[in-house]
Amino acid sequence: MKILVCISHVPDTTSKINFTEGDTKFDTNGVQFVINPNDEFGLTRAMWFKEKQGAHVTVINVGGTETEPTLRKALAIGADAAIRVNTAASDGFSVAKQLAAVVKEGGYDLIIAGRESIDYNGGMVPGMIAGLINANFVNNCISLEVDGNTAKAIREIDGGKETLSTSLPLVIGGQKGLVEESDLRIPNMRGIMMARQKPLTIVEPIEANNETTSVKFEKPAPKGAVKLVSPDNLDELVNLLHNEAKVI
């Protein structure tokens, strides 16, 4: 089984976010980038298929040279090979087209992507890939088993879970539950050394127009001051909620 794991290069959630050029560009200075958490759950599940079923795992990213350390980390975790599509990831549809082109060329059986990236939270790329390559698609996937050409998946739905049976090729949008946080892997020294010897292929992009453009960014409003009310003074609390906060 050939597995392609899509890896987004995203800011660490602890990084301080700023914008430049009149709040139209994201300022990357001083920002630590990591593997998108939803993608990391998918990568860890792919490692299970590699170890238990002999799958070959390739990781892929759409981006510039600055994303290669993230791909190298994925190789250190255990992926067999990496591909970087040499263009900026500026639009969900254009990214999906680049990834779909690689999938068609490589003949992958299973494409694992995170349901969304934690930077733009678009949540559109996995479904678009499936549509472009005419493959089955399961989003919000929290469990996946593959037996031959048949896959059994569980996904979250409103108010519960749904169990599905489908055939390969398959695209999933994975999330926590596909594996647990305790299952995530930290590269060890041997993995880091081996990653240097694994192939990282640079692929030139196909022609793909952006369908969306970021016009402006805006930070959330700062938190307001907190008023503390004594638990013995319920009348004051009710008055503040009614007349000042206007929530009752």
Residue 83's CATH number: 3.40.50.620
What is the rounded distance in angstroms from the CA atom of residue 106 to the CA atom of residue 7?
A: 17
User: Is 237 within a domain?
Assistant: no
- Please compute the mean of the pLDDT values over residues 63-69 and round it to a whole number: 95
pLDDT for res 71: 96
What is the rounded distance in angstroms from the CA atom of residue 138 to the CA atom of residue 110?
A: 11
Q: How many helical (H) and strand (E) elements, i.e. helices and strands, does the chain have?
A: 6, 13
Per-residue pLDDT at 208 exceeds 90: no
User: Is 238 within a domain?
Assistant: no
Per-residue pLDDT at 245 exceeds 90: no
- Please compute the mean of the pLDDT values over residues 59-63 and round it to a whole number: 96
User: Is 50 within a domain?
Assistant: yes
**What's the farthest any 2 CA atoms get from each other in the chain?**
70
- Please compute the mean of the pLDDT values over residues 174-202 and round it to a whole number: 92
- Please compute the mean of the pLDDT values over residues 228-237 and round it to a whole number: 88
User: Is 224 within a domain?
Assistant: no
Between 55 and 224, where is the model more confident? Answer: 55
Domain count, the chain: 1
User: Is 175 within a domain?
Assistant: yes
**Window from 13-22, 30-39, 85-94 with minimum mean pLDDT:** 13-22
Inter-residue contact 129 to 103 (CB < 8 Å):
yes
User: Is 234 within a domain?
Assistant: no
User: Is 245 within a domain?
Assistant: no
Between 27 and 2, where is the model more confident? Answer: 2
Per-residue pLDDT at 226 exceeds 90: no
Inter-residue contact 172 to 49 (CB < 8 Å):
no
User: Is 233 within a domain?
Assistant: no
Tens digits of residue pLDDT in 161-171: 999 999 999 99
Per-residue pLDDT at 39 exceeds 90: yes
Q: What residue type is assigned to position 209 of the chain? A: N
Domain that holds residue 127: 2-217
